[in-house]
Each structure stands twice: as C-alpha cells, then as structure tokens.
C-alpha cells in the first residue's frame, strides 16, 4: 500500500489507487488497466486485498466528518485522486505530445515522454505509467541530480561559500560562474555521477562516482563544469533508452531546480541537440495536479488544452559544435560504465564491509 492509498482510506474509507501509481507496482496489467491475474497467482496474492485501480481523474467525495471539520470544508467536497509526481510533471510542463519530452532535475533527475499506448522496454531500462485516455508516460529516473552540485559545494567549495557570504550571493551562482569559464567537455574531464548508485538506465546500486581524465591543467572550475555535464549525461543516457521505444523527440520541456540556471539549461540543450523550453512555473507537478482537476471536473476537454495555458519563460537552441563534443563524451561515459561495472561491485563491497 502506498502512502497515498493509506491517506485516502482514512479520509474516505475507500481503498483506491490511481492507474499511475498502480503502474509502478509490477502487479498491474498495463493493457487491461487492472491487477494482473498471472502475476498475482505467481506471488500468491489475493486481488481482493489490493486497492481498486481507478483513473487519474477519479473523483472522491463523502469525506469523513472528523477530517472535513478539521479542514474547514464540507464532507461533500470533491477530491480528484490525481497521479504520481513524475506523471504530473509532464502535464505541468505541457509535455503531453509524443514528440515532446520532459526533463526534471531536482535532488535527483528524470526524463519522460508520452505515448498513445503502453510501451515496455524489453531490457527493463524504463517505466511505463498510465496517465489518461491514450496518454502513457514512458521514462526513467536517475539518482544523482542537483545533489551532486550540493555535494561539491559542501565538500570542496568552502572558499566559494565564504566569498558568496561576503558578496551576499548564492554560492551555487558563484560556482556556476566558474563553470562558465570552461568550454564544453571540461577540457577532457568526465564525471560519472553515481555517488548514490544509479537507477535508470543501468539500475545498479553498486555504481560509484568517477572523475576520469584528471590532468594537471584541470582547476576547480573544470570539476564544477564536469559535474554539471555529468548530471545531464546521466539523464541523456535514459533518453537514449527512451528513443528506442518512442522515437526521437523534437522539444524538451525542463523543470526542477536546475532549470533556474541558464548555463545548466544550455548544457541540456547542447547534450541532447534539442530545443529546450522552460515553463513559467517550476512547480510542474503541482500545476499538473491542478490540470487533472480541471479535466476531471469538465472545465477543460483534454490535456492538450493545458498546454495553451503554459507560458514559456526561457528558450534554448543547441550549439551543434558543443553537441558533437558531448556525443563523444557520452560514448566514453557509457563505455566507462560498462568497463567499470565489475569493479563497482568490488569497491562497493569494500565500502560496506571493509574488505575486498
């Protein structure tokens, strides 16, 4: 049972789960939109002990008086069940067409696109969640997003933190200014950002971080630049898996804390070779939730109506010279991961147990 199901049960006395969250359980049949009988039988699970799957526009009312009175609302107030945060983020940034992709990078990262039917990767690299009629969100999450820059700031940027404090500026802004001095590719310094293991596309908890190519000419600004690029390369690696399922997208819509940085947004555009648009609201999931409410209550006719209300504040076009550099960096990135895969297992064992 998810936290959402638990809360809804206490509020309304019903065990229900929206299709998008059910899609993430491994127990849900994406075509039938119901619990998969074969899987349940294999695991000896009773369907009657699972919540009832419902569309993301399902409306709940008749809240228990105890909770309604605490909230100061009527028991008949309608609640729309909604969806999971990643699915909602796609709606909130307007990435609801097959040729548009959403990239969200906060503490961690994710890249998602929409298809008109369920698409499952035979290699298990990506997820597929039900959103609404003829809308399926295909994508994958990464473990290491903005937390990489925070790690670099906390452990290696003490001087920058002091300077930023005196200048009354954000230390992140100062670090990114340093990174702007360095060309694409960080003069041959490559970062594999697996400090917390990695989810998509490798799904390897033992993966570890690597700075590759360190030379005497590399300075702190190179390391900052390499971290920014490494985070985007990790998201791009999921995008490569997506492309094999959904084809090539033409536009990326970006959200999350990273989207506040012009430099980081441009790196995303250069790595992917795609136009990057940044919607006005950074809280894409919240806007997506509100949009599902409008759809459920018939205030809009389709999710496509949402896009008309989303204003774009920033737009980036890819630098093709930088894109060529990043493609070479990505091939090296992917090769390095596979070459080091066995060694990741060995070093992670040493970190956990103190022996090889």
- The tokens for 154 are 């906390």
pTM: 0.94
Percentage of the chain with pLDDT > 70?
100
* Residue 281 predicted with pLDDT over 90: no
What is the sign of the dihedral through the CA atoms of 150, 216, 221 and 186? negative
d(CA 209, CA 192): 5
Looking at domain 84-356, its CATH superfamily turns out to be ATPase, nucleotide binding domain (3.30.420.40)
- The tokens for 353 are 């147990």
The position carrying tokens 């909130």 is: 92
DSSP bridge pairs for 198: 204
d(CA 341, CA 356): 15
Cα–Cα distance list, 210 to 85, 133, 213, 221 (Å): 30, 43, 10, 17
- The tokens for 274 are 């795609």
Express each pLDDT in 193-243 by its tens digit: 999 999 999 999 999 999 999 999 999 999 999 999 999 999 999 999 999
- The tokens for 205 are 């908890």
Express each pLDDT in 58-96 by its tens digit: 999 999 999 999 999 999 999 999 999 999 999 999 999
Give CB contacts under 8 A, 24+ apart, made by 32-40.
33/130
d(CA 61, CA 11): 9
d(CA 94, CA 53): 25
The domain segmentation of the chain, as residue ranges, is 1-82, 84-356
The position carrying tokens 């369920």 is: 118
CB 269 within 8 A of CB 249: no
In this prediction, residue 282 has a pLDDT band, given cuts at 50, 70 and 90, of low
In this prediction, residue 277 has a pLDDT band, given cuts at 50, 70 and 90, of very high
* Residue 283 predicted with pLDDT over 90: no
């Amino acid at each position: 049972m998810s936290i959402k199901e638990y809360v809804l049960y206490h509020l309304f006395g019903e065990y229900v789960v929206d299709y998008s969250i059910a899609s993430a359980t491994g127990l849900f049949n994406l075509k039938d939109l119901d619990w998969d009988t074969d899987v349940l039988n294999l695991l000896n699970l009773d369907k009657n002990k699972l919540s009832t799957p419902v569309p993301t526009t399902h409306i709940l009312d008749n809240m228990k008086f105890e909770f309604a009175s605490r909230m100061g609302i009527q028991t008949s107030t309608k609640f729309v069940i909604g969806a999971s945060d990643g699915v909602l983020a796609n709606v909130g940034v307007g990435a609801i067409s097959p040729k548009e992709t959403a990239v969200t990078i906060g503490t961690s990262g994710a890249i998602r696109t929409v298809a008109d039917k369920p698409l499952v990767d035979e290699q298990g690299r990506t997820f597929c969640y039900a959103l609404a009629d003829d809308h399926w969100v295909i994508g994958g999450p990464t473990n290491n997003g903005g937390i990489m820059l925070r790690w670099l700031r906390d452990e290696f940027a003490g001087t920058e933190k002091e300077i930023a404090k005196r200048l009354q500026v954000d230390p992140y802004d100062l670090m990114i200014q340093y990174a702007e001095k360095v060309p694409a590719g960080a003069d041959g310094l490559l970062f594999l950002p697996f400090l917390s293991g990695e989810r998509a596309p490798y799904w390897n908890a033992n993966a570890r971080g690597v700075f590759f190519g360190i030379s005497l000419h590399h300075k702190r600004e190179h390391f900052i630049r390499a971290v920014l690029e490494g985070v985007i390369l990790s998201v791009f690696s999921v995008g490569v898996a997506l492309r094999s399922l959904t084809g090539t997208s033409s536009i990326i819509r970006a959200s999350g804390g990273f989207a506040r940085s012009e430099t980081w947004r441009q790196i995303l555009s250069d790595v992917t070779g795609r136009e990057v648009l940044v919607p006005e609201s950074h809280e894409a999931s919240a806007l997506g939730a509100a949009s599902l409410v409008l759809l459920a209550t018939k205030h809009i006719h389709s999710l496509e109506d949402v896009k008309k209300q989303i204003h774009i504040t920033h737009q980036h076009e890819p630098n093709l010279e930088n894109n060529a550099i990043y493609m070479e960096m990505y091939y090296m990135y992917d090769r390095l991961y596979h070459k080091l895969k066995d060694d990741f297992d060995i070093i992670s064992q040493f970190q956990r147990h103190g022996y090889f």
